[in-house]
Amino acid sequence: MGSGLWKSIGVSVFSVFLFQFCYSEKAPYSTFAHDATLAPANAVYDYIIIGGGTSGCALAATLSQASKVLLLERGGLPYGNPNITNIGSFSANLADTSPSSPTQPFVSTDGVPNARARVLGGGSALNAGFYTRASTTYVNRMGWDQKLVNESYEWVEKMVAFEPPILEWQSAVRNGLLEVGVCPYNGFTYDHMYGTKVGGSIFDRDGHRHTAADLLEYADPGNITVYLNATVHRIFFGIEGSARPKAHAVVFRDGNGKRHAAYLKRDSMNEIILSAGALGSPQMLMLSGIGPIGQLRAHQIRVVLDNPMVGQGMADNPMNALIIPSPRPVEISLIQVVGITQFNSYIEAASGASFGYAVAPRLAEELAVLLKQTALPSTVLPTPGTPEAIAEAPAYRNSSIQAGVILEKIMGPLSTGHLELQTRDPRDNPQVTFNYFKDPQDLQRCVQGMNTIIKVIESKSFSRFRFPNMTVQALINMMLDVQVNLRPRHRTDSLSLEQFCIDTVMTIWHYHGGCQVDRVVDHDYKVLGVDALRVIDGSTFYHSPGTNPQATVMMLGRYMGQRILSERCPKGRK
């Protein structure tokens, strides 16, 4: 666990933690984290936070310093699951689609498989671990206080961020980026700046993941309650002497389907806060009666407030990549090095672990065939999708492979879509459209990014990790043979990088929007048109911050927690 454990909880709590972690690998929150089946039928709190994800954990820990907080998480604990905690099991974690999995898959209407988190810690329990801050320009555009932003980042970093060991593959990518002009070299830094750098990681040097759930070590155990496997069904509103609806309660169900209610104490400062993510927060607003009136009526939901902007502005950073079989062994690494280009495409890399499997269910078996064919060209190998090929897949899902991937994703993006309800069941995914590359600038940046990847692959610095007789065109063709999405392929794919980008687009799990500032919430993240309700998570963003958003989403939870406490206790923050 993080270095703050010993100073953040008392000796008695530590003793319980030591026993549980050593023998049953449970969370260090035995005094305040429980399964929702243990929740009372009714209880009251100062703050009710829906979603124990990347933002929600930081927010709950902060607010608990001066108020009674309830944190409701629809998933379980990230601890004790090796698929979450070990870097080598990254792909297996995202491949787990069982009902109790921390991963809930969905496919956008664009035909691109994606995933949302269903676990304490949210996306930080699923992702590739890269930790990097937003740029100063982004912070200024958001209207945030730079000093408090920096303090909030530092608060997060003390618990979950580490400098990664840069081994051979990542060094070759770094040197290749510099060789082809993605300069200057900025060394190891959390800061966002043009050039090539080594960023932070939430994987420590032993390859163990530290999630946003670790930030709950900062919580006051006497002021916080966490219920796991608690699915919120609705936020309830009342009208007391004014025309504005006021949030006052939530109803959630435990894993057995039993109903529980949580209420706000009668105090004008108390609030319900949605931190359920870019899919969950707009979905919960709609299920609670706030959203486009046509959708609400179509699902027979009582209208609290007609706001057609709920669910709008959905965006996902498109990712495109090339897989490079290596003539020599490669380390298991996820994202550690990034090239931040002047044309606003970001170049990153991973190796050893079957990174690609996480974004395409059949990729492991396809790689098994393709990579063996590279090493043993005269061998007759099974066709992807056949029982023989599927039998080859597990070894590639769960162990190192002698290959790596170099990917690019674009800043922003400029292309946006929308989210709609499919059912009234909060356990079901909403329907989401991202409209990848709808804006031509996004497509142009992808082409520039792919050209940069090609130059890195052809660089002298990278030469030892590439088969000398394998051309870049062969790598492109191999990528076209991999079922990375459900989109059709075109004859021009191998000749046109524009068509290649469109047809092989994948997600890098950076979707955002749906509850954006000035559309759904104000600059204090209060939901427009109602009282006692905020949204604090990535659904409020217009653009994904930095190269990777998780650091900023965690920061936002801490930042807004501090802001809310300053409103509650104006003499100073704790």
Detail the residues annotated as belonging to a binding site for FAD.
54-55, 119, 232, 509-510, 538, 549-550
Output the 3-class SS for 384-439. CCCHHHHHHHHHHHHCCCCEEEEEEEECCCCCCEEEECCCCCCCCCCEEECCCCCC
Tokens of 143: 């209207």
CA–CA separation, 83 and 99 (whole Å): 15
Is 510 a catalytic site residue?
Answer: yes
Q: Which alpha helices (DSSP H) does 288-375 contain, by range?
A: 293-298, 363-375
Chain centroid to CA 434: how far?
16
* Residue linked to tokens 């060394």: 187
CA–CA separation, 310 and 328 (whole Å): 50
- With beta carbons less than 8 A apart as the criterion, state whether 226 and 32 touch: yes
Among 320, 563, 351, 551, CA closest to 453: 320
CA–CA separation, 424 and 403 (whole Å): 44
* Residue linked to tokens 């559309």: 519
**Distance spanning both ends of the chain, measured CA to CA:** 24
Q: What 3-state DSSP class applies to 356? A: helix
CA–CA separation, 574 and 571 (whole Å): 10
- The DSSP secondary-structure symbol of 285 reads H
The identity of residue 480, as a single letter, is: L
Helices 440-457 and 472-480 sit at what angle, rounded to 10 degrees?
130
CA–CA separation, 454 and 212 (whole Å): 35
Q: Which residues are annotated as a binding site?
A: 54-55, 119, 232, 509-510, 538, 549-550
Beta-carbon contacts of 495 under 8 Å, excluding residues fewer than 6 positions away, are none
User: Cis bond leading into 488, ω under 30°?
Assistant: no
- With beta carbons less than 8 A apart as the criterion, state whether 169 and 240 touch: no
CA–CA separation, 498 and 118 (whole Å): 35
Tokens of 272: 């319900």
- Per this entry, what is the length of the chain? 574
- The DSSP secondary-structure symbol of 488 reads P
Residue of 192, 248, 418, 510 marked catalytic: 510
Beta-carbon contacts of 144 under 8 Å, excluding residues fewer than 6 positions away, are 559
Enzyme catalytic residues: 510
